[in-house]
Amino acid sequence: MPDTLKPTSTPAMVDLLAQIWRRVLQVTFVGVEDNFFDLGGDSAQAVALFNQIAETCGREIPPVMIYHAPTIAALAALLESQKTSRFPPLVLLKAGTQPPPVFITHGLGGSVIDFYQVIKHLDTLHAIHGMQARGIDGVDAPFDRIEDMADFYLDAVREMQPRGPYLLVGFSLGGLVTLEMAQRLTAEGEKVALLAMLDSYPHVRHLSTAQRLRLKVQQTRVRMSEKLRSAATSLVQPLTDALSPTQQRLRDSAYLALEHYRPRFYPGKINFIRAAIHTNFPVDAVGVWGHLAKDFSVDTVPGDHLGIMTTHYDKLAAVLSRYLRESLS
């Protein structure tokens, strides 16, 4: 829990949160010191929990805060604090006993809560730390350059682990951030034992002409298929939930960062995990990245870009667990 929070709260706030917790977790009793995850809570329930808190209390808090305040007592103190809390760039997602730690970078939305199921299924003794976007707390402005994100995270990583070997994992936009981090660490003479990029691609403007044409054809086919499927079933696609102002700022800034970042040649190995189902991303990961790394390997996980995290997380975790075993052997 951030240092700015006070460990006190009123009975009314505790009672209100207890009602929300019971409703979200579908349990009959919750103690004020019971841990959210020990009660069976997961990332989807964390999102539902904080959505209900926003509706009831009028206070927008990112779901990743559940890692800092995993009990009703801690969360009540957060909500009643009169100070605005800055969230640290690193959040411990899984404790471990084997050095070095693993650092995982978020996707376009800026939150590492999406990694919950993957990390739960990882077979490793390494501690796992998530890197969360500046501005996710609504206090500071988010970065709109990959290079600035990399500097921000590297400052926090070096404070925790001054020397290599480093273990870096990044999903989607986070893959580009970890690539830039690895570039800088390697240039400083540090060892990057693992750079894993999960279905991560540069903006279409930085693809070759042939790759852009293939991607455009692919996306057209996907759209036509979706229209046919919708017409056949007479179903209307549900509208996505509106983003909060903080979430929208994060996404807008992240998209600018993606658009302007041109990857450079990396003089090391990239372990790449691609989604088996392609929608808005290139089919040929080797064609995109092969010439930009000294060594490039690809594994495929079932599902689409989001499905590898939300549905086939066990398959993704199995590949990442193998990477971690091999990285320091």
Domains of the chain: 11-80 (1.10.1200.10), 90-204+242-327 (3.40.50.1820)
pLDDT of residue 88: 83
In percent, the amount of the chain with pLDDT more than 70 equals 87
- pLDDT of 282 above 60: yes
Q: What is the band of 60 on the pLDDT scale with cuts at 50, 70, 90? A: confident
Alpha-carbon span 43 to 30, nearest angstrom: 18
- pLDDT of 233 above 50: no
Residue 140: name the closest of 130, 152, 131, 129 by CA: 152
pLDDT of residue 213: 72
Q: What is the band of 9 on the pLDDT scale with cuts at 50, 70, 90? A: low
Q: Is 189 left (phi over 0), alpha (psi -120 to 50) or beta?
A: left
Residue 170: name the closest of 215, 120, 115 by CA: 115
- pLDDT of 299 above 50: yes
Q: How high does pLDDT run on average in the chain?
A: 84
Alpha-carbon span 22 to 14, nearest angstrom: 12
